[in-house]
Structure 1
Amino acid sequence: MASVQDVAAYILAKDAPMSAMKLQKLCYFAYGYHLAWEDRQLFPERFEAWANGPVVYELYAEHRGKFQLDRGDIAGDPVALDDDERESVNVVLENFRAYSAQELSAMSHQPGPWLDARERAGVTDLQRSNEELRDEEIADFFGALVGRED
């Protein structure tokens, strides 16, 4: 299984430069769709329900203080992804690369896993939260989206 850094490095290798926020959101959508399509995690690190949407802390720790990211800015191995992981990320990139970071963030704020985690944490819009998004909620949410696409 790849790490979030491996997935991020793969995304940047294919589509850099991009903002750190966009990279986080693309990782989220890739994770969610991969979970729905393959019934397994894309990486073991967990998403937290931050004020600006789902964020993996371990990835944030690598890009903290940087707005724009380029190839090589994340210490991951793009070739660590297996064929199914690459396919999931590629499909997400094909369908979501045209969206801005703000548009992707707004999509992640729709009723679903991020909002559920924020509600569990009892936080308001701008309050900090490290409440984890649950895989079963992510799988149900993205599974329903995949079901609508058929």
Structure 2
Amino acid sequence: MADVFDTATYILEQRGPMTTMKLQKLIYYSQAWSTVWDDDVIFPESIEAWRNGPVVRELWQDMKGQFRVDAVSRGSSANLTDTQKETIARVLSFYGDKDAQWLSDLTHMEDPWKKAYAEGQNTEIFPAWLVEYYSSIAPAK
């Protein structure tokens, strides 16, 4: 199974350097839409509800102290399936041109982050919550 570093590597290969905050939000939306469109997660790592939106702690630790990134310390896009790459490409097509603050603000308006954050900062956003919410607003694939 691919991991969050494989996913981050692919996103950076497709979109180039970006802020760590934006990368975290694109990772989140890739996972969210994969749960709906592909009926599966792309990576096994947990997503947590942090103050500035959803964050994968392992990826945050890898990028800690960096504002902009152009690569992560490990990961290979070759570990992603064609279906996963297609899902990420669709996410990037819609969300990729948005800035980090816009993406963070959007996550704060959506139920998965709100539900987890209401339980306490850094609470896990479960894949089942992603499916429940995003399937209710899912565009046709």
Above 0.5 in TM-score?
Answer: yes
Unaligned runs of 5+ in 1: 122-128
Q: Which amino acid aligns with 1:52?
A: N
CA RMSD after TM alignment: 1.0
Aligned residue pair count: 140
The corresponding residue for 1:136 is 128
The corresponding residue for 2:80 is 81
Displacement over 2 Å in runs of 4+: none
The corresponding residue for 1:58 is 58
Identity of counterpart residues, as a percentage?
Answer: 36
Q: TM-score if structure 2 supplies the norm length?
A: 0.95
Unaligned runs of 5+ in 2: none
Q: CA deviation at 1:141?
A: 1.1
Q: CA deviation at 1:35?
A: 0.5
Q: TM-score if structure 1 supplies the norm length?
A: 0.90
Q: CA deviation at 1:74?
A: 3.8
Instruction: Provide the C-alpha distance between the structure 1 equivalents of 2:62 and 2:40, rounded to a whole number of angstroms.
Output: 25
The corresponding residue for 1:145 is 137
The structure having more radius of gyration, on CA atoms, is 1
Instruction: Provide the C-alpha distance between the structure 2 equivalents of 1:69 and 1:111, rounded to a whole number of angstroms.
Output: 26
The C-alpha deviation readout for 1:18-51, integer Å capped at 9, x for no partner, is 0000000000001000000111111000101100
